Structures are given as structure tokens and as C-alpha cells.
Structure 1
Amino acid sequence: MKISGRTFVVSGGASGLGRACVLDICAQGGNAAILDMNTEAGEELATALGASARFIQCDVSSTTSIASAVSSIVSWTRQTGKPLGGIIPAAGVGLPALILDKHLRPASLESIDFVLSINLRGTLDLVRQLLPHLAATGPSGPDGERGVVVMVASAAAFEGQMGQVAYSASKGAVAAMTLPMARDLSRFGIRVVTIAPSMFESNMTAHLSDKVREGLQKAMEFPARAGKPDEFASLVRQAIENVMLNGVVIRLDGATRMPSKL
């Protein structure tokens, strides 16, 4: 799939890994629909990128909000003549909580629902609502490809740490649905790839304490540092452009394997 001449939808696109994807897509000649709750950051990014980007405020935990965003995206692609090429649901949250704390209090269902509604339900609902429009685009290239879904899991899907039950559940589910989704969509010429990063520089990791950050770096092999957003975006570009990448979860972690606790 060529990025140039296509429109890609990026949730969580106003910051962190999503923002890096938006910048890279526009640099390659594509258009990017920036979905985010942060209006100020989203509008600032869209203004900086000009005609190749559009900000649409969207709460991925709300089906109605997603439906409104999808309608705006479809209208925009008709205006620009750049059809949908892919979906990158990068919106995500982390809310650490022990499933049972030292006072024998279980994690609140509200906090569990919050993480699942954005990381899992939000991912699935955004993809679900955009797929009919992606499948309706004309086939491209010798393989008749119509588009690609690039989802975001996490190393926590495989080695979740203490306090990451809800987060690991959400990201593990994203990883698990990659292959069946690819199988469902193969008849339409739509591929599905999931990237599972370790610790990357983002809004989520910016709030980590120095102690936690140092502990995480000790678990890293090479390079012994957090990943950079542009390194994540580079792999997203490969997932978009390489037609043989399909139904796979790719770890992007520098051989990091997280310990149970820091």
C-alpha cells in the first residue's frame, strides 16, 4: 500500500506515538485524520501540517463520538480525492492498580472499565466503524489491496507487571484479535498488523518516576533506553507499505523482557 494519495486515520494522533505516525504519513505524501480528545494539541498539529491533516475531536470510548468522526473523515476524503488507506488506533491509557491491594481491597471496576473502554473497546469500535468505508475503496496494486489496519498492543500483553492486570488484559486482547481480524478481512484485500512496543517516549511514560524509569531501563538489552516515537512510526510505515505483513504481532522492544516488578 502506497501512503501517497491515501488518507490514514490515527486515533490518539495529537501526541506521542500517534503524533509521530501523523507526521510520518504526511511526510510521505499521505493525508492524516487526527482523532484525539486534546483539541488544543490536535488543532495545533493540523494547522502546522496544513491541507494534509485534519483534526477531529473524538472520544473513542463513545460509539456516537466515533460515528460522528467517521462521517467527517468520509466527507473529507471525498473533498480531497484521497481515499482511505488505513486505520491506526493509537489512543491508549494506562491506569496501574493492583487487582488486590495490601488492605485486601480489589481494584475498582470503574478503573478497569476505563482502561478496557479505551484500549480495547475503543480500538475495536473505531476499526469496526471505518471498515465498511475502507472496504468500499477501489483495489490498488497487483494484489488488489484496499487498505491496512495497524493496531497498537504492548510488551505488557506478554509480560505484564504488577498493577497491570487491566492494561495487560486490554493489550493482550488486541494482540489476540490480530489474526482472526486478518482472516475476516482477507476477502476484502485488507491487512491487519499489530505492533507491541516496550517503553517508548510518550505522554503515558512521561509521568513515570525516575525510580520506575531507571528500573525499566535495567530490563532493557540494547539499546538501553526508551524507544523514540519516530522509531515506532517507521515500523508503522513498513506495516503499511509491505503487503506481506499480515496477521502478525511485531514486538518493538530492543529484546526487553519485563520483570514482574521493579
Structure 2
Amino acid sequence: MRIDGNIALVTGGGSGLGAATARRLAAQGAKVAVVDFNIDGAQAVAEEIGGIAVQADVSDETAVGAAFDEAEQKLGGAPRIVVSCAGVGMAARIVGRERKLSFDVFEQTLKVNLFGTYNVMSHGACRMAELEPLEDGERGVVINTASVAWQDEQLGQAAYAASKGAIASMCLPAAREFAQSGIRVMAIAPGLFHTPMMEGLPEEVAVKITANIPFPSRLGEPQEFAMLAEQIIANPFLNGTTIRLDGAVRLPPR
């Protein structure tokens, strides 16, 4: 599908992977709605790329619906491109010190990462299905963000791994369901990237983590995630699968 002239909605677009994706899609001619809980970040990116900023908590289904309504009203139509990058990366052992349990971390992580992605995908596909099909019958594409945590997350990351594993697992059944409407669903599972989550780590921890990446032996750049998103949108035969983008890294237990 061509990006030029189409409408795109990117969640988590105020920073990190989402901001890089919003920038790349705008550079390719898309009209972009930058959605983020942090409206200041969303506005900064939107002003830079000539898009619009929309504030929303993706874990709130009603708020997600309102965000799509606002984007459709301001951009003149429903998005054919929806990319979910909003997420959190809280860490906690299942049973911590003094037998402290972490149900709160598990619940909040799944609400934002998994339910948020599901909410955005649901509203996006619902609106895409009402659009006129393009020449090849395609109506749109949804790209969700999983993680290498889907397969090899570390100690203390059970909640995060569960949320990202579920995103990867629902990719194929969602693609099969939406196929009748000409809507593709893909997921990207990034490894270790230069994002606000990683930048908050102590330097010695970042160096240790980077040493585990075979090649290139560095953190991924957000624009490399955006590049893959662009390629997924352009290639109509990419559907129903999760692509690892990780420099061949396999995370150790801790």
C-alpha cells in the first residue's frame, strides 16, 4: 500500500519508536495523527511533521474511540495505517522480597500494553472496514509492537513478557479475521533500542546489555523500527506474523 496521501494514526507517537514512525510516515507523504498520553510530546512531534496531536490513554477503550473520532474529523477520513507503539516497561518479580506480590504491576502492564494495543487495533480495523478498497482490494494495515520479550525476556519481566507475548500471539488470528475486509495485521518485536525506557538505565547496565548484541553491536535506532514499519505497509504480502528486529540478540536470564 502506498503511504503517500493516506492517513496514519500512531500511538506512543510523542517519543521513541512511535515518534520515529510518525516522522517517517509524514516524510513519505502521510497525514499523521500523533496519539500519546503525554500531550506535550505529541504536540512537539505533530508540529515538527505537520500532523495533529491527540491525547489518549490507550488502556481506556472510550478514550481510544474518541481519539479516532478526533483524528478522522481533523484529517478528513479514517486512517488506513495504524501503528501501536504506546507501552510501559515496569519490572517486578512475581514474588519479591518479604514475599511481596506484584499483581498491581502485572495488571497495569497488561492494561497499557495488551489491552491498549487491542483497543487501538479494534477501533482501527472497525473504521478501515468501512473505507473503499484500493486497487488490490486492500483497505488498511495494522502494525502492533511486541518485543523480543515475547520469546526471551529476563528475570523480573514476567508481566512485560506476558503482555508482549500476547500481542505476538494475536497477530495471526487477527489477520485471519480481518482478511475478509482487506486489512492486514503485523507485529514488530524490537530488541534493545535507544528509547526513553533504555535511556533511563545506568551507563554500566547499558554497556553490559549492548555487549550481548551480536551484530551490529549497538542499540537499535528508532528510525530502524520506522523503516521496517514502512516496508510492512508497502509490501502487501506481509500479513499475520511477528518480525524480530534485534541484531540477533537473545537475552540472558538477567
Is TM > 0.5 for Structure 1 vs Structure 2? Answer: yes
* Residue 19 of structure 2: aligned partner: 19
Mapped pair 1:54 → 2:52: yes
Q: 1:64 aligns with which of 62, 65, 69?
A: 62
Measure, in 1, the Cα distance between the counterparts of 2:247 and 2:176.
29
Alpha-carbon shift at residue 90 of structure 1 (Å): 0.5
* Residue 252 of structure 1: aligned partner: 245
**Structure 2 unmatched ranges of 5 or more:** none
Measure, in 2, the Cα distance between the counterparts of 1:146 and 1:158.
31
Mapped pair 1:96 → 2:91: yes
Mapped pair 1:122 → 2:116: yes
Mapped pair 1:112 → 2:106: yes
**Structure 1 unmatched ranges of 5 or more:** none
Verify the 8 A CA contact 1:182 1:191 in the aligned structure 2.
yes
Alpha-carbon shift at residue 102 of structure 1 (Å): 3.6
What SS class does the counterpart of residue 106 from structure 1 fall into?
Answer: coil
* Residue 42 of structure 2: aligned partner: 42
Measure, in 1, the Cα distance between the counterparts of 2:189 and 2:129.
25
Measure, in 2, the Cα distance between the counterparts of 1:103 and 1:123.
34
Instruction: Number of aligned residue pairs: give it.
Output: 254
Taking the TM superposition and a 5 Å limit, the aligned residue runs for 1:25-36 are 25-36=25-36
* Residue 3 of structure 1: aligned partner: 3
Of residues 60-69 and 151-160 in structure 1, the stretch that sits farther from structure 2 once superposed is 60-69
Measure, in 1, the Cα distance between the counterparts of 2:44 and 2:128.
27
- AA aligned to 2:126 is P
Alpha-carbon shift at residue 135 of structure 1 (Å): 1.1
Taking the TM superposition and a 5 Å limit, the aligned residue runs for 1:213-228 are 213-228=206-221
Alpha-carbon shift at residue 83 of structure 1 (Å): 4.7
What SS class does the counterpart of residue 258 from structure 1 fall into?
Answer: coil
Verify the 8 A CA contact 1:5 1:83 in the aligned structure 2.
no
What SS class does the counterpart of residue 80 from structure 2 fall into?
Answer: strand
Verify the 8 A CA contact 2:71 2:78 in the aligned structure 1.
no
Taking the TM superposition and a 5 Å limit, the aligned residue runs for 1:121-200 are 121-141=115-135, 143-200=136-193
Alpha-carbon shift at residue 72 of structure 1 (Å): 0.6
Alpha-carbon shift at residue 213 of structure 1 (Å): 1.2
Percent identical residues = 39
- AA aligned to 2:150 is A
Measure, in 1, the Cα distance between the counterparts of 2:78 and 2:93.
44
Alpha-carbon shift at residue 103 of structure 1 (Å): 2.4
Alpha-carbon shift at residue 191 of structure 1 (Å): 0.5
Measure, in 1, the Cα distance between the counterparts of 2:8 and 2:15.
16
Measure, in 1, the Cα distance between the counterparts of 2:87 and 2:237.
27
Measure, in 1, the Cα distance between the counterparts of 2:46 and 2:100.
44
Residues 128-185 of structure 1: CA distance to partner in whole angstroms, max 9, x if unpaired?
12222111111113x2111101000000110010010000000000000000000001
What SS class does the counterpart of residue 235 from structure 1 fall into?
Answer: helix
Alpha-carbon shift at residue 70 of structure 1 (Å): 1.3
Verify the 8 A CA contact 1:89 1:126 in the aligned structure 2.
yes
Measure, in 2, the Cα distance between the counterparts of 1:178 and 1:164.
21
What SS class does the counterpart of residue 84 from structure 1 fall into?
Answer: coil
